[in-house]
Structure 1
Amino acid sequence: MPTPSRPGRGWLLRLVIAFAFAQGAVSMARPAVSYRALSLGADERAIGVIAGAYALLPLFAAVPLGRRTDHGRCAPLLPLGVVLIAGGCALSGGARSLPALAAWSGVMGLGHLCFVIGAQSLVARQSAPADQDRNFGHFTIGASLGQLVGPIAAGYLVSERDGAMARTSALALLVSAAVAAVSFTALWRIEHRRAAGSPKPAADKVPVGRILRTRGVPAGIFISLAVLSATDILTAYLPVVGEHRGIAPATVGLLLSLRAAATIACRLVMTPMLRLFGRTALLTTTCLLGGLLCAGIALPVPVWALAVMLAAMGFCLGVGQPLSMTTVVRAAPAAARSTALALRLTGNRLGQVAAPASAGLIAGVAGSAAPFVMLGALLVGAAGLGLRSGRVPAAEPAPAPVAAPDPAADPVRAEPAPDAEEPRANRNPA
């Protein structure tokens, strides 16, 4: 029998590029949707409802999509996601009412979910266990690149002068649709075919309850929910805070992009940080510091101090997402890893529905900065769970993928990230 070959990393580079454009479109559209809602007469509560609508359809679609991916290919979800993102952005730009804006925002969120489930499942399926921390970290750099450029572009295009917010926010949404479409250029040959005789996916479905009872999966889901909720509310509500504090949209865009740039810096040094501190200490400390910094946004600080806080918070929050992905993948049963990742995304979307709605209620009562105190408490709770997540025993490894060589792959492979604090990596808790 021929020796199985592992695919190179050219597919990962193309995936990062595609994700950067898809996430850039979404990160540009989210604040533009908030500004368009403001131009249509929305208050803080309405902004919260519209921000929550972005996650409503994905809340019900995540698990079925994960089931489908566990027993089939991942790549078809990527172009489908791009089409839905581009359509949702373009139609949001033409919305003339708040309910229509909320509906098309939901379509955008469904597209983002399709893309992310397919992409995360590709990384989990085509990465060796020792490479997962590194590859998930590199994959999320694509998201951070999009979050870096998108808000700057939205802030540049949206203008409040002479009552132009309605027109310029619509323009920003149409441009974001075009940005999403660029993702198609990087989606070629991104999934490797199994060679003849390689194992097929398991036919039996692992019950959702069993996945959720697996030690490590709930912790990974909650940490991811807390980190993403903080990022999401920051994107949706910093424009509102800026309106109340007299900060121009262009400056708000720069502040959001500064946060994203710090997240990119964090993920570029993820491997040495894991080697130096270990998974548990790194995850716990960054969640705790991120929570304190997030709550600090509620203070009436000058713009320069807000910039410093957002940069530090972006660096701290950069750890949670990739490590929560690896935590869930390693803890979940081998036949249900895409479903486990989908459950993680369901938790994310649940947070994206509940957190904006709660933020809207809190902002309506206590002011636009108060939701950041709520998010700070959520991140401190995630820090507590982080104490356990680094010591979670992993499920039995799935069979190594047998893949055709990638002609575009980089023949030079980086050193794998250390499997820090995983002393029981071969135990199956299920």
Structure 2
Amino acid sequence: MVAGSKASSSGIMRWLVILIATGLLSQTALNLVRPVTTYKLISFGSGSFTVGAVTAAYAILPLFTAMMLGRVSSRIRRIRFLMVAGVGLIAVGGLGINLAPNALAVALASAVLGLGHLMFTIGGQSSIARYFPDSDLDKGFGWFTAAYAAGQFIGPLIAGMVLGSGTDAVSAERIADISLSLWIGMGAALLAVPFLLPNWQPRVSKSVSATSPERSSASIGSVLRIKGMASHIFASMTLLSMLDILTAFLPLVAEKHNVTPAAVGVLLAIRGCASVVSRLFIPKLSAHFERRDLLVTSLYVAGVSIALAPVFIDVLWASGLALLIGGFFLGLGQPMTMTMISTSVPPVDRGAALAVRLMGNRLGQVALPVISSTVAAGLGPAGAVWFCCALLCLSGAEKNLRH
């Protein structure tokens, strides 16, 4: 019995290492491609509204497929194949953006990119909810999302290094550098495939039997009716949308102030690096503080800190400091919501519940960039960032009132 328990524990830890490696590669690819997408649009002469619309297009397909994929993830035994399909679509989306002749084609390719990210994310999150003991969920989600944050650090840094310090948005050199960046992103996504093809998944599951997988009967309505669930999903939506808005609109703010792509890459990398650090400390923090308190603090501090970044974009150390603080607290929020949502439902429904969370995220990713671009039309690109920061603080206030 003890030997079996040790083997099970070993299999779970091996799978966590696979999730960390593939999460790092997929998110490096994604977070290299997405800021470069803004520069691709700038080279077409696009403004804030088009950037907002393309950012929204990224979440269109996931919005309508999240629940279905969540149910699939709850009953599929070889969940790694869902993740393989995800990284494949990330690579295809990067290729489409690279070859796109206009903004509409970029939007279509971004939709494919978003679907790939959703498939990989649902596969990874659902496997953690399926295989990890409840006592280790913070650890599993924390380390998995730390890999995401590391990719959010490395991807923009590579993009900034390749695009360099030139400020001519339509020069032949800039266009060639954009293409090279996108090829690198595609390659990073495809590197994840060899990790996922071997059958290294754990054999012990909390929700899927070896002979007959249980089917989740959870619906969107039944999940949302669970006490506190809508609040958790709203917090998750604002946290993720903040990342999208920052990635899409900070390059626009920078272009307006003649700040180079290399500097933007460093600023976004600082935010990602800070989130890596905070997520590595989540198991210790959650042992000393209530999850709700950690989540509320992350919403408030991230909202206030990140709002300062566009204000001081000309003073890079000040903008970097704001993103360092904001990134640390932003990094705490997402894994907290994953654990809180997972533990609110039976094991068999966890894939579906996490899918509803992702559906809420994608709804925010569709609506908020469009709304933010409208705000940006009046206040400039920085207005889009400030709008999302206000939503973070609103989510924190809502959780305080609910408590």
| Shared fold, TM over 0.5 | yes
Q: Tell me, in whole angstroms, the C-alpha distance in 2 between the residues paired with 1:108 and 1:316.
A: 27
Unaligned runs of 5+ in 2: none
Match of 1:76 in 2: 81
1:371 to 384, 387, 390: 384
Of 28, 31, 34, which residue of structure 1 is paired with 2:35? 31
Q: 1:338 to 1:155 in 2, by over 3 A?
A: same
- Measured against aligned partners, the alpha-carbon deviations of 1:290-317 in whole angstroms (never above 9, x if no partner) come to 1111222342452111000000000010
Higher fraction of helix = 2
Partner Cα separation in structure 1 for residue 138 and residue 399 of structure 2: 16
Alpha-carbon spacing, 1:92–1:245, altered in 2? closer, same or farther (3 Å):
same
Task: Count the aligned residue pairs.
Answer: 390
SS in 2 for 1:206: coil
Q: Distance in 1 between the 2:134 and 2:215 partners?
A: 23
For residues 244-277 of structure 1, give each alpha carbon's deviation from its aligned partner in whole angstroms, at most 9, with x where no partner exists: 1111000100010011111111111112222333
1:4-83, aligned counterparts within 5 Å?
5=5, 6-8=8-10, 9-73=13-77, 74-83=79-88
Of 153-162 and 187-196, the range deviating more from structure 2: 187-196
2:365 aligned residue (334, 337, 352): 352
Q: What is aligned with 2:193?
A: 184
Q: What residue identity is the alignment partner of 2:293?
A: A
2:235 is the counterpart of 1:233: no
Identify which range, 279-288 or 260-269, moves more after superposition: 279-288
- In structure 2, what is the Cα distance between the partners aligned to 1:341 and 1:280? 18
2:234 is matched with which residue? 222
Q: Which moved more, 1:83-92 or 1:205-214?
A: 205-214
Which amino acid in the other structure matches residue 384 of structure 2? Answer: P
- Give the Cα separation in 1 of the matches to 2:65 and 2:179: 28
Local SS of the residue matching 1:297: helix
Equivalent positions of 1:274-353 (< 5 A) are: 274-300=286-312, 302-353=315-366
Any unmatched runs of 5+ in structure 1?
Answer: 392-430
Q: Describe the shift of the 1:289–1:163 C-alpha distance in structure 2 as closer, same or farther (beyond 3 A).
A: same
- 8 A Cα contact 1:39 1:166, kept in partner: yes
Q: Tell me, yes or no, if the aligned pair for 1:90 and 1:173 is still in contact at 8 Å.
A: yes
CA contact (8 A) 1:281 1:387 kept: no
In structure 2, the residue matched to 1:147 is: 152
Structure 1 match to 2:222: 210
The one-letter code matched in structure 1 to 2:177 is T
CA distance in 2, matches of 1:234, 1:134: 27
**Kept in 2: contact 1:211–1:333 (CA 8 A):** no
Identical residues among aligned pairs (%)? 35
**C-alpha separation between the residues in 1 aligned to 2:234 and 2:216?**
27
In structure 2, distance between residues paired with 1:18 and 1:264: 15
Change (3 A) 1:103 1:214: same
Give me the TM-score of the superposition, normalised by structure 2: 0.92
Contact 1:211 1:217 in 2 (8 A): yes
Alignment-mate amino acid for residue 259 of structure 1: R
| Helix, strand or coil at the partner of 2:192 | helix
Seen in structure 2, the aligned counterparts of structure 1 residues 100 and 204 have a Cα distance that, compared at 3 Å, is: closer
Name the CA distance, whole Å, in 2 between partners of 1:129 and 1:186: 26
Q: Deviation string for 1:110-164 (max 9, x for gaps)?
A: 0000000000001111100000011110110110111111001111112545442
Aligned counterparts of 1:275 and 1:204: Cα–Cα separation in 2: 31
- C-alpha distance in 2 between matches for 1:351 and 1:304: 31
- Tell me the CA shift for residue 203 of structure 1: 3.4
Q: What is the match of residue 120 of structure 1?
A: 125
